[in-house]
Every structure is written in structure tokens, then in C-alpha cells.
Amino acid sequence: MGSPEIAAPVKPAKRAYRWRTFDLVEPAGGWPEPPIHFLGDRADRADCIEWAGKPNLTGYGQTTLAGETVGAHVSAWVSVYGPIGKDEHGRTLLVCHTCDNPICYNVEHLWLGTASDNNADRDAKDRGVVERSLVCRKGHPYTGANTRHDKAGRRHCRACEEHARRQRSSAKLLEQLLAPKEVADEADQRPDDP
């Protein structure tokens, strides 16, 4: 029998997660290949492994990784697939959910993508609240004639804006009518007698 093979020391990989860095040790066999995700694919929530701890303010499970607080799904991804880098354009990659369940940390439901990829996935699943909405909060339909887009691309209902303008105008007129009128002294109003 030959002598057992001794693995060479592995240099920890530096991994930047937004403003944080973690020291990760690559397994002897290397990191496994992450699964391929197709936009719009949705995992069954029955297979979710849900974080039992308290979620953060945005609804994601949170835990610590190398002494830093991170999302439970991020910690699960890093522990299985290794460091999260950047895409070919230098954009930060996010750990996204196929199940759309923020407290799920099942690595089979996770995939890496940019913020744009995540938004495209949301839209492919018809989860974009603003885009799905056909009417404004007051019930006016978003039609071409009744919709105005601001510089940031947000939609505004023209009927609601007109109603708000009329309310402001009415309030201003009412304020002017109810405001006490300034009465000048009677002596100032009488013409001078010669």
C-alpha cells in the first residue's frame, strides 16, 4: 500500500459581500458547480427549508458568517458553492430565490444573478406589483391618456393629480375667503377736507 496523499495547504479565498470580506477555505475537491437557473422558473414552496430564527426587517432569515451578519440564504450558498464574486461586467452578484420565499435557505432554490437578473426574474413570474396594477389606488384605469410618467419612470394617475390640484385650489380659495380682511383706520380712508 502506498502512503496516503496529503493535501497541500489551501490559501483562503477572499470574498467580498458588499462592504464585508470573509475568509473561506476551498474544499480539497474544489467548489461544486452552482445550478443553472432559467428566468421565470419557480421552485415549489413545499420544498423550502425555512429559517426558524427571527427574520430581519426585510423578511430574510439572518445569521452570521465569519463574524458578520448576512442573510441565511447567503450563508447557505457560500457554505455549499463557495465565494460569490462579480459577473463579467464587474457587477456584484446576489443570491436570489427561485421560490420567492425570503426565509428559505434551501440551496436548490437559490441562484446567483445581478440585481437586473433578479428584477427580470420577478417580472417573468409576474410578481412586479407596479407593473401588474391596471388601476391606481383610487380605482382610475392606467390608460395612455390617464397615465403620466415622471423622470424616474414612475407612473402617476392624471385623474388623481387633477383631483389633488382642485383640492389644493379649493383650500386656497377657502383660506382667502375666511381670512380676516385688514381694515384700515377710518381716518386713513376719508378724503382730506380742505
pTM of the model: 0.50
Confidence band (pLDDT; 50, 70, 90) for 91?
confident
Dump pLDDT digits (tens) for 130-166.
555 788 877 888 888 999 988 887 889 999 999 999 9
Are residues 106 and 173 located together in one domain of the fold?
no
Are residues 139 and 82 located together in one domain of the fold?
no
Confidence band (pLDDT; 50, 70, 90) for 25?
low
Are residues 47 and 116 located together in one domain of the fold?
yes
- Nine-digit cell string for 93: 452578484
What is the C-alpha to C-alpha distance for residues 113 and 61, in angstroms, rounded to an integer?
A: 19
Q: Within a domain: residue 1?
A: no
Q: Name the domain count of the chain.
A: 2
Average pLDDT, the chain: 75
Are residues 71 and 163 located together in one domain of the fold?
no
State yes or no: pLDDT of 18 exceeds 80: no
Tell me which residue range forms the domain holding 170.
135-179
The torsion angles phi and psi of 79, rounded to 5 degrees, stand at -70, -25
Neighbours of 28 (CB within 10 A): 9
Average pLDDT over residues 72-92: 83
State whether residue 169 is helix, strand or coil. helix
